[in-house]
Amino acid sequence: MAKKDVEDLLVAGGEDKHLRAEYDVPATREEFVALAAENGYHFTVEELDAVLKEAGDVFEKNGNPAKRQIWWA
């Protein structure tokens, strides 16, 4: 179930630029996971990392302004 929550969040972020912007703020994976939990997505840092690795995505931000490139369209 947790893997599905990660995937659901990544899809939601791919569809909603405001959601993406909200999740670009947290500096750490732990803060990202805590924010996700506040919004009803329940998963661990390890589960987040596993889904991102499987998809070939990287958590770190890049660009100016810095943004994450993890969102699924």
Taking the C-alpha atoms of residue 62 and residue 12, their distance in angstroms, rounded to an integer, is 20
Q: Is residue 73 part of a domain?
A: no
- pTM for this predicted structure: 0.94
Domains contained in the chain, number: 1
The string of pLDDT tens digits covering residues 22-65 is 999 999 999 999 999 999 999 999 999 999 999 999 999 999 99
Q: Is residue 48 part of a domain?
A: yes
Q: Is residue 59 part of a domain?
A: yes
Determine the pLDDT at residue 2.
94
Domain of residue 37, residue span: 2-67
Q: Is residue 72 part of a domain?
A: no
